[in-house]
Amino acid sequence: MIKLDISTFVSLHILVSVIAVLIFWIFFEIRAKINGICPDDKYIWRCNICLNIYVDSLSDDISTCPNCGSYITREQNKK
């Protein structure tokens, strides 16, 4: 049996935990991109009045800011 002191055991435990979190993080990021869960850039709108950034997948050319109610056109959104 391998003899470890408590500080080595705690260090290895933290290291293994961090590596496991990183592996899960990368796995779920790749899975989200493959499944299309991440919103496309065309669905992300930025209000020029209140600088609110939100997702609106229903609007094509004109969107209404949910924060201040102003109208945002696609051309304004690209700036």
Q: Residue numbers of the site for Zn ion (CB under 5 A)?
A: 47, 49-50, 52, 65, 67-68
Write down the least CB distance from residue 44 to Zn ion, Å: 14
Pairing of strands 53-55, 62-64: unpaired
Place of tokens 């055991």: 9
In this complex, which beta carbon is closest to Zn ion, that of residue 11 or of residue 67? 67
What span, in angstroms and rounded, lies between the C-alpha atoms of 13 and 78? 47
Q: How far is the CB of 51 from Zn ion (least distance, A)?
A: 7
Shorter beta-carbon distance to Zn ion: residue 3 or 78:
78
Q: How far is the CB of 38 from Zn ion (least distance, A)?
A: 23
How crowded is residue 72: how many other Cβ atoms within 10 Å of its Cβ?
Answer: 21
